[in-house]
Structure 1
């Protein structure tokens, strides 16, 4: 027993000696870099700033003297009640956490102080590794040995996250209550202090009941720490949350989805690290604020109800620049970027890829297949019986032109099997999309995001020239030195003539002359100027891609939880938004030009025979 006590004593001596040594080292290293000069500025295609941040966060930095005393007391009471007495680590809290976590074997309990949280916000991520914890401990000691408690608390409340894309107490006060931080009442301040522990869980906008429960906990902590009297506690607990009628900031939060996309690209390029960020970065992008605002306004006008979500990308096929992006209907309520992270089934937006391969293998707009209910016998001794929309069939031969216009499934599967199913699989693989080599692939039974889908369509819309979609044009450091410049690396990876023929074929989706046994898919959505278009729909997803040589929009509408889209109005939202956007943003006619290898020939839209009064399509010279 005596030996055990001696070992415990040695451990304590070692621990406190090590801790004292750490304090001395932290003091000798000097005042920590608070990164107040650390910034990111994003510029649009007109070299105007559309987003800027300090310390990675977009909150307005405010002096602690300009913050309500109620909030300062509330945040200390609930997050770190011994803040003014400890030196960075709450040993009482640590002991309690050890007792809870180890002895009682309950759910993990932490004991992070405000100083530790501030160190994490400034320098670290939330990864749960020992190396991160050691770094956090050292930065905590640096902050405590060189800054006053007032300075630490000021830095913390200006950097902490309140949910809905909001950082810092000033922005949070404006967003939730429409007032400055120094004007917050006890009722308002205690609610905001409660949100910090779980912004998504305790947000009063997302769940008022949980927010009120959390606020009561904050008020009780203030009472226990003798910051308010019992009468004030009880009176405040009876008050309603008193939120602002509208929740918005001066800045346009719809741009934040694009901002997040830029930062992901910045990381891929190797510049999203402290070596560059601490000195400030000026990032010049392809962002088109007019396109973004038009998209955002149209989505607001539609007043998309409930849990229904949407995502859109706008790109320039001539340059492969990503010019606008919507990752959801409201960034404040969901920061999940569906445009680049939501993997969804693409449906009939697959078909143009299949028909590009067909045009490369001798097909032309007049190529015919019989359209009738068909069961296909496959090489693996199984069968496949696809169906057309509403089980409608021509019961005669139809042309490739009509198959594209009405999105005929039988024609697509026959084409797919005729070419060999591996061809479409390999085509997708060349763009980084892994798909199964099966018959249903022709109908879009593969998942990807609309960013990747736009990337392939831009290749076709550009006449076969390819480079991956991008947002960053150049990066300039704080000294004005260009440390990155985008280089045009477009290559001709698809046949130009096949792309041009396909682009012309995709205009047929608007043409009512094709509406016989099935309707042309876009006959009810007309554009002012010539546009190529393809839609895709499943029970759970609605997609559209529409473009001319200068602009390409790709849209998706659906539910995050993959529930069925039942409402008929919801099923056409993607079409409406995309076409409304193009009608606002396409200012004049712009279409592709024939090359010396192509002829323009008018054909009967149904039979495919030459007809001077028919629809003009493009054929390779020498086509019979």
Structure 2
């Protein structure tokens, strides 16, 4: 009997050893199998793991203009966190984190038994190390295979990183609800402070959220959140992380959440697009989502007022021209190839064109209008176009099927699902309704040339054409001050110089277009600018030489190619609003040119400043006295010329209206002693604005509205007159010194050495005498040598903000 027992024991032990050996071999090969395709930990080990972070775009006063992110996260080093923040997380999630080697074996066995009983993987018993592996290296599937891979990677991570490094990864990776990732963003969202400033009570509340961000959110479930805080504080006291007094003090601290901050996404989308482009240039393509902080020059109050002023101005235009819905299908389809005919082919966003499409259906519940534009299916969100739908009609009533709509393509972020090929059908492309004209406004600080406000469209949506910095439009008569400032610079003209305005004296300009031509043959240069007399401007450029004016315009910052011809003062060539307003800012700054600035500072995620490309130093284009003279002449535009509405600003201002042929472009550009502002209005496809529309009606009202708000509460100041500008009384008819005892005189400004020396004689021959004394010698423009003037530096030397 005893022999049989020993034989049985021997066999049992042998079998057990064989099973153990087979199990070990099986376990070895299983581990090798699962290790074979494990993801690399090199990025984490070598510190090259950089999760997506929030990039913040700030206004000049620190107001957040936008936050750019895919995951709202701001990475903070573990050294910056107080110990009670780290201990609260450990108490809630893994109290023995600093004791184990990455795995909680007891917890894993307990979880496995529960999962076996339930027939599926319900519990995980994950340590902080395992959660780091799951969130960074693996997908979140709940399978035994993933749990094995997770355990293997956890052990590897523990061998390659310190505990503090693992905890830092965890604190910056975990989700806290409401779209916030990481301890820093959670602290900002819930308590309006940095994680380094959290109290013990606040740290416990945040730690309690991790287990169930939706269930334990203090904004959604305050009672459950408070209970969870009590649990965490209890665990901290039990584990010896805090004492009883600290626990009680934290329990009695009231939970005070920060006010949820509304985003300013609609305040300056044009600025955000420029910031994105600049970030990619100076810090690489990944910088947009890399946790950078970009400080801009934008004044949030002025930015808000700029958009309000533009919108109000455009809405008044819409009322004047009946552009507010409902719309209706055409009684007769427009002729193929005409401006109003439906577009054919595949449109491209890069072309920035207005296209005609046909409404195919509408979704009243979602407020969507589906439009076929050539080979593309697009959609208009009606709620984004309240400008044309003030009565809030449903989509099908606003634009029935068959209605032809003028639309443009909006830029859109690429859907990751489309990249992965998971979408079998491309969604409709977002479209912007383009029934009415658009506008742009840009405001510069004259002294610093910082951009204070920048608005490039009515809608304030991301994407599309930013007309303030990208659109090239004919500046019309706003170009005349460039011509006249050069004429003053040559010393051959003064504000009192008489210019020929005889009917039909310039080919292509009809006397009917020149009110002054009916009553006089000559006009003083100041009055010619004030009343925007085209024929006078053409005579001036013919005398000073178009090629010289082209060089002068380039020195003042106009980058658009221009030809040396007589149409320059009529604004026949194109320019950007940002360039034109900077020309006027140069006048206001006494002739000192400087490039506009939009970005003053870029900081990387660690707070280190990113160097901006060097910008060229400011340079003098004209003498201060010359700049004062053109400013003085531009004040006459306001006092008694085409810009009289600007007197409503209630302070000294200078400026010029502009209206291109057929009123396709309407402008007003002007300045005070502090701010220069340009406003442009027009259709993107250069349609005429309509009867009785001009710069004074379609642009100037927005300028006045903005300037009044911008200067509210500040005392008016005069443009300072340089000492070498002379004040002389002249005869208003001839521009000469007045006769003895003449009473009908006026005061005029002159550069030293250009003042009149001839005294008018009050007799019948005065005008004959004037012809020989005042007339500029006739010299063909192209025979005159071009003057060498300072030009803009090459584009590569500057940040291409615009």
Q: Where on the TM-score scale, by shorter chain, does this alignment land: which range?
A: 0.5 to 0.7
Distance in 1, Cα, partners of 2:471 & 2:50: 34
Quote the residue 1:600 is aligned against.
727
Quote the residue 2:275 is aligned against.
262
Secondary structure, aligned partner of 2:721:
coil
Quote the residue 1:498 is aligned against.
626
Worse overlay, 311-320 or 45-54: 45-54
Q: Does 1:548 align with 2:703?
A: no
Cα deviation for residue 423 of structure 1 reads: 0.7
Q: Does 1:618 align with 2:712?
A: no
Q: Does 1:324 align with 2:446?
A: no
Q: Does 1:341 align with 2:353?
A: no
Secondary structure, aligned partner of 1:618:
strand
Q: Does 1:298 align with 2:420?
A: no
Distance change (3 Å), C-alpha of 1:617 and 1:532: farther
Of residues 54, 72, 75, the one that matches 2:69 is: 54
Q: Does 1:536 align with 2:658?
A: yes
Distance change (3 Å), C-alpha of 1:429 and 1:510: closer
Q: Which has the larger radius of gyration?
A: 2
Of residues 655, 660, 685, the one that matches 1:561 is: 685
TM-score normalised by length of structure 2: 0.47
Cα deviation for residue 448 of structure 1 reads: 1.7
Distance change (3 Å), C-alpha of 1:148 and 1:602: farther
Distance change (3 Å), C-alpha of 1:27 and 1:299: same
Q: Is the 8 A contact 1:43 1:282 kept in 2?
A: yes
Distance in 1, Cα, partners of 2:734 & 2:51: 70
TM-score normalised by length of structure 1: 0.60
Distance in 1, Cα, partners of 2:549 & 2:469: 23
Quote the residue 2:343 is aligned against.
none
Unaligned regions of 5+ residues in structure 1, if any? 1-22, 59-141, 160-181, 183-248, 377-383, 513-519
Distance in 2, Cα, partners of 1:618 & 1:342: 37
User: Aligned ranges for residues 166-565 of structure 1 at < 5 Å?
Assistant: 251-268=264-281, 270-274=282-286, 276-277=287-288, 279-302=290-313, 304=315, 305=318, 306-332=435-461, 335-362=464-491, 363-376=493-506, 384-387=507-510, 390-392=513-515, 393=517, 394-430=519-555, 431=557, 432-484=559-611, 489-512=617-640, 520-526=641-647, 527-538=649-660, 539-565=663-689
Distance change (3 Å), C-alpha of 1:552 and 1:450: same
Cα deviation for residue 424 of structure 1 reads: 1.1
Distance in 2, Cα, partners of 1:567 & 1:250: 40
Q: Is the 8 A contact 1:254 1:330 kept in 2?
A: no
Secondary structure, aligned partner of 2:274:
helix
Q: Does 1:148 align with 2:140?
A: yes
Distance in 2, Cα, partners of 1:387 & 1:267: 51
Distance change (3 Å), C-alpha of 1:409 and 1:329: same
Q: Is the 8 A contact 2:444 2:452 kept in 1?
A: yes
Q: Is the 8 A contact 2:55 2:289 kept in 1?
A: no
Distance in 2, Cα, partners of 1:289 & 1:371: 46
- CA deviations 1:379-409 (Å, max 9, x no partner) are xxxxx43246734314321101101100111
Distance in 2, Cα, partners of 1:460 & 1:27: 61
Distance in 2, Cα, partners of 1:36 & 1:441: 54
Distance change (3 Å), C-alpha of 1:507 and 1:253: same
Distance in 1, Cα, partners of 2:475 & 2:277: 24
Cα deviation for residue 345 of structure 1 reads: 0.8
Distance in 2, Cα, partners of 1:374 & 1:321: 44
Distance in 2, Cα, partners of 1:569 & 1:334: 28
Unaligned regions of 5+ residues in structure 2, if any? 1-35, 74-133, 143-174, 181-213, 215-261, 319-434, 757-802
- CA deviations 1:160-196 (Å, max 9, x no partner) are xxxxxxxxxxxxxxxxxxxxxx9xxxxxxxxxxxxxx
Provide the aligned length of Structure 1 versus Structure 2: 413
Distance in 2, Cα, partners of 1:48 & 1:606: 55
Secondary structure, aligned partner of 2:700:
helix
Q: Is the 8 A contact 1:375 1:385 kept in 2?
A: no
Q: Is the 8 A contact 2:514 2:535 kept in 1?
A: no
